[in-house]
Amino acid sequence: MTQSSPRPPSHNDDTLAGEYVLGTLDTAARVEVERRLQYDSALRDAVDRWETRFAPYSALATPVEPSPGLWSRIERSIDTAHRTPPSHENPRPRPGWWQSLALWRATTFAGAAAALILALTLLQTPGTPQAPRFVIVLMTPQHTQAGWLVQAASPDELELVPLGRFELPPGKALEFWTKADDWKGPVSLGLIKPGERSHLNLDDLPPLENNQLFELTLEDAGGSPLGRPSGPIEFIGRAVSL
Amino acid sequence: MAPVTNAVTDNDHDGLLNACAAGDKQALQRLYTLEGASMLGVVQRIVRDRAAAEDIIHDAFVRIWTRAETFDAARGSARTWMFSVARHLALDHVRRHRREFTAGDEIDHHADPLEGHSHHPAPADHFDWQGHGELERCLAHLPPERRNCLFHAYVDGFSHQEIAIRSGHPLGTVKAWIKRSLAALRECLS
């Protein structure tokens, strides 16, 4: 799915790179450029060139002396920060991060009930520090059944909690997508194992926002080849801010 | 405004960033001492909120620390990379928080109330852009109102719509100007 592009960027891509650097792209286009930067070396080169060309004009902004405490805040944070490998070695979406669909077919009723109780408990205590700031209940499109609870304790981390059974047909996979109101199209968050809790890091995306759309679609094993949903929607919901 | 001359060369930044990648916290502190105020100036200009700007500088330095080893000197200077980390965090912030300009207000090229106004005031430069780099010769070929669009975007972090509102030019015109200006700069530089 990743391909590097030794070719020089097209004029369109070069302009896109320039607009990315200027900052005039809308959120969806920004997200798309950042996704492509992970594997498209020609686009990356174009962005680097525009960054270098415009960088001297940073001097047009008047320097502002930081508050005395800012460095100690940074120092405290880096003591606990984890280093990440170069982002292009860890591209997203990342189908195949789990091995066997068949392993994850079923969950017990007890497990689902426990998850639901946990979810409701969290919903009732929004003031506690651990409480999610956003929740999303993913329902079947006919809203007859809740399939998953998605909770976000921070704007860039999600936890998916299965609420019921989902039988995955052979050779198929569930792919998780999200789209904020002003994005042009959904962005893949990878494949999801039925019946298992998943943690997703949204570092590469803009922080969650209210009403952001989430959906699970049924795709061929390995995920949609199109970079957008190609199969039927199994579960869908929107983020609610608590 | 006089061109900013830095007492430190980019080589120092490269070396300090490499030291960060090796886990040297003092190297990060040195970069912060060298560039913290300039970076905060860039971010503050875009987000226009002191507390938010400092939060972004915090996040930027944490990111510079955790991603120092991904920096590749072949792709640009360390200083440019650091500033771009902070600037893009600031842009993400304003795109999320200046929603009132765009949300539910779908872009309509025909509904611009300013469309048809042909008597804009004589164009003048809004930015003291001269003396800053290789782009200068090419920027000089652009009409002032188009240069203004580029700098309102780059320096102020304005969206197309904000530039249109601020400049009184129709949104479609602003979008086309920016695209064509970038193409003209590319042409001029090649």
| CA atoms A18, B97, A126, A117: torsion sign | negative
Inside any domain, residue B130: yes
Architecture per CATH, domain A102-241, reads as Sandwich (2.60)
β A187-192/A198-201 pair status: unpaired
Which residues, in sequence order, are CB contacts of B181 under 8 Å at separation 6+?
Answer: B142, B146, B147, B149, B150
What's the complex ipTM?
A: 0.84
Inside any domain, residue B115: no
How would residue B121 be classed by pLDDT, with cut points 50, 70 and 90?
low
Inside any domain, residue B111: no
Which residues face A176 on adjacent strands? A190, A216
**Residue where a domain stops, chosen among B45, B69, B100:** B100
Asked if B32's CB is within 8 angstroms of A74's CB, the reply is yes
According to the model, what pLDDT value does residue A171 have? 82
Inside any domain, residue B59: yes
Asked if B91's CB is within 8 angstroms of A30's CB, the reply is yes
pLDDT at B108 exceeding the cut of 50? no
Nearest CA in chain A to B39: A63
Nearest CA in chain A to B72: A86
| pLDDT by position in tens, chain A (length 242) | 444 444 567 889 999 999 999 999 988 888 899 889 988 999 999 999 999 999 999 999 999 999 999 999 999 998 876 554 444 433 333 333 232 233 333 333 334 444 554 555 555 544 444 556 788 888 887 677 788 888 887 777 888 888 877 888 888 889 898 888 778 778 888 888 888 888 888 777 787 888 888 889 888 888 887 777 877 788 888 888 87
The answer on B90 and B128 residing in a single domain is no
What is the number of structural domains in chain B? 2
Which residue would you say has higher pLDDT here, B108 or A19? A19
Which residue would you say has higher pLDDT here, A72 or B116? A72
Asked if B79's CB is within 8 angstroms of A55's CB, the reply is yes
The answer on B52 and B87 residing in a single domain is yes
The answer on B15 and B91 residing in a single domain is yes
pLDDT in tens, A121-159: 555 544 444 556 788 888 887 677 788 888 887 777 888
According to the model, what pLDDT value does residue A63 have? 97
The answer on B96 and B126 residing in a single domain is no
Instruction: Looking at the complex, report in whole angstroms how far the Cα of residue A220 sits from the nearest Cα belonging to chain B.
Output: 34
**Which one of B42, B96, B132 has the shortest CB-CB distance to A56?**
B132
The answer on B126 and B160 residing in a single domain is yes
B188 Cβ under 8 Å from any chain A Cβ: no
Q: What is the percentage of chain B residues whose pLDDT exceeds 70? A: 81
Cβ-in-10-Å burial (0-12, 13-18, 19+) of B178 comes to buried
Contacts of B132 in chain A (CB under 8 A): 56-57, 59-60
According to the model, what pLDDT value does residue A8 have? 67
Please name which of B6, B105, B149, B169 lies closest in space to residue A56, comparing C-alpha atoms: B6
A to B CB pairs, distance under 8 Å: 175
pLDDT in tens, A39-68: 899 999 999 999 999 999 999 999 999 999
Average pLDDT, integer, range B66-86: 93
Neighbours of A87 (CB within 10 A): 15
Instruction: Looking at the complex, report in whole angstroms how far the Cα of residue A200 sits from the nearest Cα belonging to chain B.
Output: 19
The answer on B14 and B86 residing in a single domain is yes
B186 Cβ under 8 Å from any chain A Cβ: yes
Asked if B183's CB is within 8 angstroms of A70's CB, the reply is no
**Which one of A63, A73, A182 has the shortest CB-CB distance to B58?**
A73
Average pLDDT, integer, range B106-124: 44
CATH number at residue B166: 1.10.10.10
According to the model, what pLDDT value does residue A156 have? 74
A169 Cβ under 8 Å from any chain B Cβ: no
Instruction: Looking at the complex, report in whole angstroms how far the Cα of residue A101 sits from the nearest Cα belonging to chain B.
Output: 33
How would residue B84 be classed by pLDDT, with cut points 50, 70 and 90?
very high
Please name which of A148, A205, A197 lies closest in space to residue A178, comparing C-alpha atoms: A205
Instruction: Looking at the complex, report in whole angstroms how far the Cα of residue B114 sits from the nearest Cα belonging to chain A.
Output: 21
Contacts of A51 in chain B (CB under 8 A): 76, 80-81, 84
Asked if A66's CB is within 8 angstroms of B37's CB, the reply is yes
Average pLDDT, integer, range B111-139: 66
Least confident of A71-75, B119-123, B134-138: B119-123
At A9, which amino acid appears?
P
According to the model, what pLDDT value does residue B114 have? 39
Contacts of B62 in chain A (CB under 8 A): 74, 77-78, 81
Q: Where are the domains of chain A?
A: 11-89, 102-241
Complete DSSP assignment for A135-174: EEEEE-TTSS-EEEEEEEEETTEEEEEE-S---PPTTEEE
Which residue would you say has higher pLDDT here, A121 or B107? A121
Asked if B62's CB is within 8 angstroms of A66's CB, the reply is no
Asked if A70's CB is within 8 angstroms of B80's CB, the reply is no
According to the model, what pLDDT value does residue A163 have? 84
CATH number at residue B83: 1.10.1740.10
A63 Cβ under 8 Å from any chain B Cβ: yes
According to the model, what pLDDT value does residue A204 have? 75
Please give the residue range of the domain that contains residue B157: 122-189
pTM of the model: 0.59
- Topology of domain A11-89, CATH: Arc Repressor Mutant, subunit A (1.10.10)
Inside any domain, residue B1: no
According to the model, what pLDDT value does residue A130 have? 52
Task: Please say whether the beta carbons of B80 and A51 come within 8 A.
Answer: yes
Inside any domain, residue B3: no
Inside any domain, residue B113: no
**Alpha helix (H) residue ranges in chain B:** 10-21, 25-47, 50-66, 78-97, 136-139, 144-154, 160-167, 171-189
The answer on B27 and B88 residing in a single domain is yes
